[in-house]
Structure 1
Amino acid sequence: MTGWEQLAVLGAGLGAGILSSTVGVASLLSFPVLLAVGLPPVVANASNTAGLVAAGVSGSFGYRQELRAHPAVTLAVLVTCAVGSVGGAVLLLALPPGVFEAVVPWLILVSCLLVGAQPWISRWLRRTRDEPTRLRHHMSPATVVFSVLTGAYGGYFGAGAGVMMAAVLGLGTDLPVHVVNALRTVSLLAANVVATLIFVFVADVDWLAIGLLAAGSVVGGYVGARIGRKMPPTVFRVLVVIAGVVTAVVMLL
């Protein structure tokens, strides 16, 4: 890579880190930049995943107050997404490339719909519960299952996984939006760590690209968390829906 290309990757890492901690579509920015500077697709995918681990670490640190306030849910999200991502990585190695390419964009669009409609759906769910006034600050068995499945998707492919996790936590709990955003950031961290451990041993990676992405994303992840903590719920939902729709459209095209 030339000096300008290295600067572009560093900047992509910064922007991707901010996106990771706010709306969860970091790869929409960083992956195309890695391709543009000449990395083969497989190398770019593995290097991108590894480089964005730093964003997950700094983003989670930026959300530490929210995560400390709900340790049980934080632990559950970490474990379920880590376990799920192992399964996703196994599928990635075992299945032919592109098996889910036709399905994934539609999954993301459905998740966008659920995130956008979450306030109305949550109110309806509260009216149908036996204890409508009791807030759900723990993950139900159904939410755990969907969290594992989302982690599996994150380990297999990853694009739009943050949007899916926002939908799962938004509908499966009554936690505030900024807490959901914190937990979504942790879920992406868990999936990326597992995938990185696998990629380092079984895939080709570009260590210079990883280092540049990590240097940029570690700053961006923390900045994004500071933004996400102050983001109004409606703004968060609108941005997540927009980011998810853009991701799905890009994948369809």
Structure 2
Amino acid sequence: MLLTAGGVGAGLTGSMAGLASLVSYPVLLATGIPPVAANMTNTVALLASAVGAGAGARRELRGQGRRIARLSVLAVAGGLTGALLLMWTPSAAFERIVPGLIVLGALALLFRGPVRDWYLRPGWRPPVNLAVFLIAIYGGYFGAAAGVLLLAVLVVAVTEPFAVTNAVKSVVLGAANLVAAALYAVTGPVHWTAAALLAAGCLVGSGIGPALVRRTPERPLRTAIAVAALCLATYLWWRAG
């Protein structure tokens, strides 16, 4: 019951804000699964969140096929790289860098207008494709708030309804999770019962999320996502010591 309910919450927060792991990862730890196994189990289970979000956001995803395909190629490459890094290296370095990245993402969401104006002005600008690839590496490696980072990049780089950006984010992040989950399924200590229960809840929650995004005013939603991301950054910074 705990895992399924946590999955519903993770699916909602993931499809609406990119913060699924804020709910799902602590739930897995609460059931007694060790951290590395919980991280890998979480990645596998959250595939259901991408499926549910994609199904629930069919209206927003119309006409986005080429864009999603291009970004998904980058996400798959980055997700595989991140998964391999998780298997070969300790997580201490990432744990110290991640809070700062999440704060930057939250600020980009809060101050989207000025940041977008800066990004779109003539001259050199950081390439979006590189940012998507790097975020996918992080997503495959650790994952907490990867959706917020990707959402922040897409919100700044593209002028479109927030619900469309959010839907594209969910599908592209799912592509990064897919390759990492496949690798973990073959080589990692995935807890399959927990993954199945969590995934069932994620499928339900993520299917509801896009409809809520569609009906929620953009500015309050962006603000709520940014505040939640800042809280997560504070917690991760405290945990990293």
TM-score category (smaller protein): over 0.9
Is 2:133 the partner of 1:148? yes
Task: Return the offset for 1:96.
Answer: 2.4
Task: Return the offset for 1:141.
Answer: 8.3
Letter in 1 for 2:37: V
Match of 2:90 in 1: 96
Match of 2:114 in 1: 120
Instruction: Select the residue among 44, 48, 51 that pairs with 2:42.
Output: 48
Cα separation, partners in 2 of 1:108 and 1:206, compared to 1, 3 Å: same
Match of 2:233 in 1: 248
Mapped to 1, the partners of 2:77 and 2:193 lie a distance apart of 29
Instruction: Select the residue among 210, 213, 219 that pairs with 1:234.
Output: 219
Is 2:183 the partner of 1:206? no
Mapped to 2, the partners of 1:247 and 1:186 lie a distance apart of 23
Task: Return the offset for 1:65.
Answer: 1.9
Letter in 1 for 2:73: V
Match of 1:78 in 2: 72
Check the 8 A contact 1:77/1:186 in 2, yes or no: no
Mapped to 1, the partners of 2:42 and 2:187 lie a distance apart of 15
Instruction: Select the residue among 6, 9, 13 that pairs with 2:3.
Output: 9
CA RMSD of aligned residues (A): 1.7
For residues 99-144 of structure 1, what are the alpha-carbon distances to aligned partners after superposition, in whole Å with 9 as ceiling and x for unaligned? 2111110111011111111122223555x349xxxxxxxxx98111
Secondary structure, aligned partner of 2:94: coil
Mapped to 1, the partners of 2:108 and 2:119 lie a distance apart of 13
User: What is the aligned length?
Assistant: 237
Letter in 1 for 2:54: S
Deviates more, 1:63-72 or 1:146-155: 63-72
Match of 2:162 in 1: 177
Match of 2:57 in 1: 63
Is 2:210 the partner of 1:216? no
Task: Return the offset for 1:245.
Answer: 0.8
Letter in 1 for 2:136: G
For residues 140-193 of structure 1, what are the alpha-carbon distances to aligned partners after superposition, in whole Å with 9 as ceiling and x for unaligned? 981111111111111111101111111111111112211110111112211211
Check the 8 A contact 1:59/1:185 in 2, yes or no: yes
Mapped to 1, the partners of 2:136 and 2:37 lie a distance apart of 22
Mapped to 2, the partners of 1:53 and 1:90 lie a distance apart of 18
Q: Which has the larger radius of gyration?
A: 1
Check the 8 A contact 2:119/2:157 in 1, yes or no: no
Alignment TM-score, normalising by the size of structure 2:
0.93
Aligned identity (percent) is 37
Question: Runs of 4 or more off by more than 4 Å in structure 1?
Answer: none
Q: Note the residue ranges of structure 1 that are not aligned, 5 or more in a row.
A: 1-6, 131-139
Letter in 1 for 2:52: S
Alignment TM-score, normalising by the size of structure 1:
0.88
